Amino acid sequence: MTHRRPLRLFHAALFMAGAIVACGGGSDDETASLDADGCSINVAPPAGESAFCRGKANFSDRTLAGLGANGRSCADCHVATESFQLTPATAQARFTRMMATSVRDPLFHAIDADDFRVNGVAANDFTNLTQNALVRVSIELPRSRA
């Protein structure tokens, strides 16, 4: 038995959250192409575009102006063709392609390398990412009150 409705609600909520977090700038191009959802493609969302379309655009935006973006978009890790998850097979394929072409993939930042704490920006061991599809999330904890 599949539960399609909760998944659709999750996707809608995800796109809406993107719209709330960062709204794109306007576009003067009245002839912009539209996707299957009626959203502008390959341009910043026009000012009057729906919250859904703005969120959809922000999901793939690697700059997210004003939010201190790290060069990744939500879509880099939440792969639409993989039910919005990152699988080890996808991570390994992207790593292999990056090594073969020398074209940097935004998924692989030094901070996510296994050897980051030792080698810093020179880190390059992505075993945990390619075998387990895990990225590093570092959260500084507040100091305890003594």
User: Could you tell me the residue ranges of all domains in the chain?
Assistant: 4-74, 86-132
Can you give the pLDDT at residue 131? 95
Structure token pair of residue 137: 């999330």
Confirm if 106 and 76 have CB atoms less than 8 A apart: yes
Run means of pLDDT, 10 residues per run, the chain, 146 residues? 49 46 39 77 76 85 74 87 93 96 91 89 92 82 81
Output the pLDDT for position 102: 93
Looking up tokens 């030094």 gives 110
pTM of the model: 0.62
